[in-house]
Copies of this chain bind each other. A is one copy, B any other.
Amino acid sequence: MRITEFRVTPIAFGDPPVRAAFGLHAPYALRTIVELVTDDGLSGVSETHGGAAVVADLEAIRELVLGRDPFQLASLEAQIWSSGARYGAPTTTPWEGKLSSPPRTFAAVEVACLDLIGKTTGRPVCDLLGGAVRERVPFSAYLFYKHAGAGGPFGFGPDPQATTGWPLARQQEALSAEALVSQAQAMCAEYGFQSLKLKAGVLPPDEEVRTIRLLREAFGPHTPLRIDPNTAWSLETSVRCGEQLAGLLEYYEDPVAGKEQMAELARRCPIPLATNMCCVSFADLPETIRLGSVQIILGDHHFWGGLRASVELARICRTWGIGMSMHSNSHLGISLAAMTHLAAAVPNLTYACDTHYPWQSEEIIVGGKWRFEGGSLTVPKGPGLGVELDREALARMHEQYLAAGLSHRDDELEMQKVEPGWRRMVPRW
């Protein structure tokens, strides 16, 4: 089995104007779809980050991919690293700009290869990772402060067809604690999520703490809650808010910037700390562990180097007694499939996974959107990832990419369109 075609297609899909410490989501989110075709007629697919630099990174390894047997992954990874690592590419948010390109580039190909391997062996991808230890994967409700608007072609306006339930709630403004509770109730009514994550670092910290308190009141004492200020808080603010949030949170995600400050906060705060910002690569692990910066790492196969690397990360977390959760960017159903197979195979991924998926109304896989039951997804039992690319949707979203005119994610710029002169600040409070 040899790879004969390597297709890299940048796409854009509608994304509502949600807020984070980085700024504001643009009307379109960017992703990249990778397709591999083999000489025996199989095709494998994956989804990764979006934008011009991601596409360029993938195009740069075309000759390493074509002609390759999809099982030969370790050599591909080594060749990508030796072909030149690039750090700090100005492709995405400041946070994502810290990611190194080789693991992301390799991961995009690795997942498509595992889809191929699954198809040629008749096995779901989770079986290529050691087999499923759970049949259903729980996800959390990802709550955002946001401006009014449905995103995509509607921008800050409502989608006229979305008039009830979560589709309506998704486009409504939510810039207060009370509005966030309504958002959470609508999302959970639709998806059945059993745990809640609040994207914070947007409103003054006291309002965000009040949001957690109201969520606790609305959802009762047993619903796990998380807050993620994305390093918008100072150490002192993080300590002070931590005192107020103690007993209310499952974990406290990246309130403060950097391994050193996270370690200092860990000493002064009774809540377990989590990160997908101060530890985003294997190279970050020795210092993170030595300093004791976090108790939980949010993995993400898209930038940790793929599904097998994520299983290896899970072994490291088990070995050092670090908990595991899963990070998400705006994504479609191919990423969700990969995340679900991975989560099924990792015994110590005991926290519900993050997903932006409810915020997206478009889909790129045949059969439309994944359906959640009780906040969980059933692990697909078919060969490979268990999803099929909708070529019509791919073509449409590629057209949207070209029309959107966005070469990279820039939440700060989008925010400046709403508030001229707005700048991301670390810390803001």
Contact = CB atoms under 8 A, between A and B. Distances in A.
Interface stretch (A25-33, A123-131, A266-274): A123-131
Contacts of A308: 130
A interface majority secondary structure: helix
A71 B312 contact: no
B74 A130 contact: yes
A128 B315 CA distance: 18
A214 B95 CA distance: 57
A319 B285 contact: yes
A4 to B, nearest CB: 18
Interface string A120-148: 11010001111111000000000000000
A311 B120 CA distance: 23
A74 B347 contact: yes
Contacts of A133: 74-75, 78
B72 A131 contact: yes
A311 B309 CA distance: 10
A179 to B, nearest CB: 42
A283 interface: yes
Contact of A282 (B74, B120, B130, B319): B319
A402 interface: no
A100 to B, nearest CB: 14
B319 A131 contact: no
A128 B127 CA distance: 11
Contacts of A289: 286
Contact of A71 (B71, B120, B127, B309): B127
Contacts of A69: 127, 131
A316 interface: yes
Contacts of A121: 120-121
Contacts of A315: 282, 309, 312, 315-316
Contacts of A78: 133, 347
Nearest to A314: B312
Nearest to A78: B347
Contacts of A283: 319
Nearest to A305: B315
A315 B316 CA distance: 9
A318 interface: yes
A282 B318 contact: yes
Contacts of A319: 282-283, 285-286, 316
B131 A75 contact: yes
A121 B70 CA distance: 13
Contacts of A75: 131-133
A72 B133 CA distance: 8
Contacts of A131: 69, 71-75
A345 interface: yes
Nearest to A284: B319
A385 to B, nearest CB: 16
A320 B123 contact: no
A375 to B, nearest CB: 23
A209 B346 CA distance: 48
9 contacts: A69-B127, A71-B127, A71-B131, A74-B129, A74-B133, A77-B130, A78-B133, A283-B319, A312-B315
Given A71-B127, A78-B347, A130-B308, 4 more contacts: A69-B131, A78-B133, A282-B319, A285-B320
